[in-house]
Copies of this chain bind each other. A is one copy, B any other.
Amino acid sequence: MLSLIRQSIFSTQTTTRRASSYVNKMRTLEWWKNDDSAMKAEFTRGQFVLFLDKQPLVRSKERNAPGFNLQLLQHDVLKQALSDHGLTLKNSDAALLDATVADATSASASSEEEDLTAIFAVGLKSPPSSGPNSAGIASLSDSLSAALGGRFIDARLAMLSMEWNEEAKMVAKGQALLRWNRLYRKCPKCGSGLEMKASKTRADCSTCSRQFYPTLSPVAICLVRDESDEHCLLVRQPQTRKGVYTAIAGFCEPGESLEDAARREIAEEVGIELLSNVSYANLSQAWPFPNSSLMCSFIGVADRKIQPEVDHSELEAAKWFTREEVAAAFQATIKDPFLSSPADDPHHLSYIPPQGTIAHHMIKQWLQTK
């Protein structure tokens, strides 16, 4: 949504007031998203989150405390380190992530607004290995992380392990925008080149003038419980770790509400028609794997006498479990976040998805609210 914040177009119906920090930040971000020259002017004074081969650079917390923080880098530091490795820090590789207070002293009473600087994600790819082994690739990652501090880790692990939720969201946003920037190079209508905004939040066709925005795929994820509320239906997806059961999820399609999508996915995947409408489980979450999903949580009620009839092209298994079984799997997941000791029985419920995922939150919420 276009804002012209710096051009005094905001009117107030009473007296002028100083915008809250939050409002100032959101309006500044909006300005940068749309105004390429303003965005580019922020580049050299910005801070950067580096993604190498889709892995963000993070640092461990002190004394081996659990969790990570993003390794935020100043422009000149990153530029120098990249240059030492034969790489260039370019605006075309960067996407706008967030804004942060540039200098705490500038937020004084005499200043009307805090001075903000941009935080960018920068995505780089290791050059192809020159030989049959990947020694060259490993060494760029090692060498860059040694120069900059921290280490590159899997983006999904980073999202689940960040100390601050705001930083997990920055990983999600960086992953999504950098991917979109790599993918959307041609106009889907006419095939001409697309021109990206400096913020990477819009792409314009150079020929037919159509505008494209980063694609988001809304997903309905639904926990199915029975009428007694003593049991829930969980499913095993073939690609997940042994012993992990989760809620049913699927992409929303054109013409559907999120609620319609939840009902349809349950019918498709386990052959069950819910007894009533689903209700929202009070959480949605951006989840950029494999693409940019927007996970929206629901709870539905089904008749437990109806056994699931599994679509084996999608799922490995689906079963009703008691509260006690689910609570045990929840505790096992908290104690063993890497889900490393599943039971030998392939159908046994050993774990639920790890903390930080929306499915974990939904199942925890169900366990707590009886």
Contact = CB atoms under 8 A, between A and B. Distances in A.
Interface of A: 1-5, 9-14, 17, 19-20, 22-23, 26-27, 30, 97, 169-170, 172-174, 176-177, 180, 183-191, 194, 201, 212-218, 250-260, 263-265, 267-269, 271-273, 279-280, 282-286, 288, 292, 294, 296, 306-314, 319
Contacts of A19: 271, 309
Contact of A268 (B27, B189, B251): B27
Contact of A255 (B13, B286, B296, B319): B286
Contact of A186 (B191, B256, B273, B309): B191
Contacts of A185: 188-191
A13 B272 CA distance: 13
Contacts of A1: 250-251, 265, 268-269, 311, 313-314
A127 to B, nearest CB: 20
A54 B171 CA distance: 40
Contact of A254 (B180, B254, B263): B180
Contacts of A213: 217, 251
A89 B150 CA distance: 61
A103 B111 CA distance: 74
19 contacts: A1-B313, A9-B312, A9-B313, A10-B310, A10-B312, A12-B308, A13-B319, A23-B267, A30-B268, A172-B255, A177-B254, A185-B190, A186-B187, A186-B190, A186-B191, A201-B253, A213-B217, A216-B218, A252-B294
Contact of A258 (B14, B271, B284): B284
A310 B268 CA distance: 46
A272 B23 contact: yes
Nearest to A173: B255
B23 A314 contact: no
Contacts of A183: 188-189
A3 B311 contact: yes
A84 to B, nearest CB: 31
Of all A-B residue pairs in the complex, the 3 with the closest CB atoms, nearest first, are A173-B255, A176-B254, A186-B191
Contacts of A173: 253-256
Contacts of A215: 215
Given A169-B256, A218-B294, A282-B280, A311 B14 contact: no
Contacts of A186: 186-191
A6 B217 CA distance: 28
Given A286-B254, A307-B14, A314-B3, A273 B20 contact: yes
Contacts of A212: 188
Contact of A280 (B251, B253, B280): B280
Contact of A273 (B13, B22, B176, B177): B22
Contacts of A258: 284, 294, 296
Contacts of A264: 26
B10 A311 contact: yes
A255 B170 contact: yes
Nearest to A16: B309
B257 A283 contact: yes
Nearest to A312: B9
A250 to B, nearest CB: 6
Given A12-B309, A280-B282, 19 more contacts: A1-B268, A1-B311, A10-B271, A10-B311, A12-B308, A17-B306, A20-B267, A172-B254, A185-B189, A186-B189, A188-B188, A201-B253, A214-B253, A216-B253, A254-B286, A257-B283, A257-B284, A257-B286, A296-B296
